[in-house]
Amino acid sequence: MLRNRIPIALLLVVLMSVSAAATSIGGAQSLLIHPGGRPAGMGDAFVAIADDASACWWNPAGLAFLEQTHNVSLMHSQLMPDWGDVYYEYAAYAMKVEGLGTVGGSVIYVTYGEQQAMDDDGVPGVIFHSYEIIPSLAYGATIGENLGVGLNLKFIYTFLAPASATTEGIEGSGTTFAADFGALWKLMDGRWNVGGALQHIGPRIAYIDEQQKDPLPRNLKVGTSYKLLSDEMNELTVSVDYNKSLIIVEEIADQTVGVVLNVGAEYRYYDLLALRGGYVYDKDGSVTDFSFGMGLKFGNFEVDFAQVPQYEDLSRPFRFSLTAAF
């Protein structure tokens, strides 16, 4: 009987995305990969901005304040430039419904590449692809003029290996569901925002053994953003996010375990060109470095890209995204 060789690429993606990598490894780790080239360039400090369709992931309350009737957000990234076909794809759509709020939907697809099973003697067996897909539905609405609230519901399916590649003869796959809850408060006529989101709250996920379920990467995200400059020609925004992992695995003396800080800034010139920079401080995940990005806007369309820090000595990946509002 063939046994499943855990995909190396999957393990690396886990290491580069887990907030508390030193203490816990949960399931559905692609939930911790942040969508959007614009947020990536700002060091992933975006919970208090969340002003396009990617708010479905960042903070569903942001959907309540979308100005256009329709909004689309797409992103592509080769997560592991050193390991070939490990890709992250994201697509989201949001639509304002007069008198009801804004509804949205998104899908995450991550492929962990081609794998090959080995038997106990090292003889190669079946070749297969591991992947994860997460569709979601979101809703955001305002309470009064300045406060928005939102909800995002998602289904999670992970496929690690076929039955022919596991010792138990059981398909290595798992399903579960989760919810995100968000709030966004706009102050000083929208110049100062305060936001927060409780993310990935749902039952544990099991792949082969139901007795060995993994927790989802539950996370508390709070942040603020402020427009230091805003006129017809220039706009400068700074933002800060604080993330705290809600996975409790063992007693740890260091109370900062599972904490990630994100700081970012964006400068826009005539709403045509955007320059971005940020910093990610994730000590436990061994990611403490700068991010850089830029964006170009053409009418209703904006193209963004960013280069982001990676776990330890892995190559820095690029993230490319397209947003459209109409």
| Domain CATH code at residue 39 | 2.40.160.40
- CA–CA separation, 105 and 57 (whole Å): 10
The reply to whether 326 falls in a domain is no
Cα-trace Rg, the chain = 20
pLDDT score at 249: 56
Q: What is residue 129's predicted lDDT score, i.e. its pLDDT?
A: 84
Q: Judge whether 317 lies within some domain.
A: yes
Cβ-proximal residues to 208 (8 Å cutoff; 6+ apart), any chain: 166, 168, 170, 171, 172
| Pairing state between β 124-143 and 318-325 | unpaired
Structural domain contains residue 1: no
For residue 166, the model assigns a pLDDT of 73
Asked if the structure places residue 305 within a domain, the reply is: yes
Kindly give, in sequence order, each residue whose CB lies less than 8 Å from that of residue 197, ignoring residues fewer than 6 positions away. Answer: 47, 58, 59, 60, 61, 180, 181, 182, 183, 220, 221, 222
Question: Is the torsion defined by CA of 105, 111, 112, 116 positive or negative?
Answer: positive
Return the pLDDT at 112.
84
Residue 245 lies in a domain: yes
The residue to which tokens 């697509």 are assigned: 91
Which helix or strand (DSSP H or E) is residue 319 part of?
Answer: strand 318-325
The pTM of this model reads: 0.89
pLDDT tens-digit map of 63-87: 999 999 999 999 999 987 777 688 9
Cβ neighbours, 10 Å, residue 84? 11
SS3 67: coil
Which residue matches tokens 């990630």?
A: 260
Burial label for 276, CB within 10 Å (0-12, 13-18, 19+), is buried
Name the 3-class secondary structure at 156. Answer: strand
Secondary structure of residue 11 in the 3-state scheme: helix
User: What pLDDT is stored for residue 26 in this prediction?
Assistant: 63
Sign of CA dihedral 179, 63, 258, 32: positive
Q: How many domains does the chain have?
A: 1
The upper half-sphere exposure of residue 306, i.e. CA atoms within 13 Å in the direction of its Cβ, equals: 31
Residues of the chain with pLDDT under 50: 1-24, 251-256
In a domain, 176, yes or no: yes
Q: Is residue 2, in this structure, part of any structural domain at all? A: no
39 domain residue, yes or no: yes
Domain housing 314: 8-321
Please give the Cα distance from 245 to 225 (Å, whole number): 21
Q: What CA–CA distances, in Å, run from 114 to 3, 84, 125, 161?
A: 16, 9, 13, 10
- 140 φ/ψ sector (left φ>0, alpha ψ -120 to 50, else beta): beta
98 close to 219: Cβ distance less than 8 angstroms: no
What integer pLDDT is reported at residue 123 of this predicted model?
73
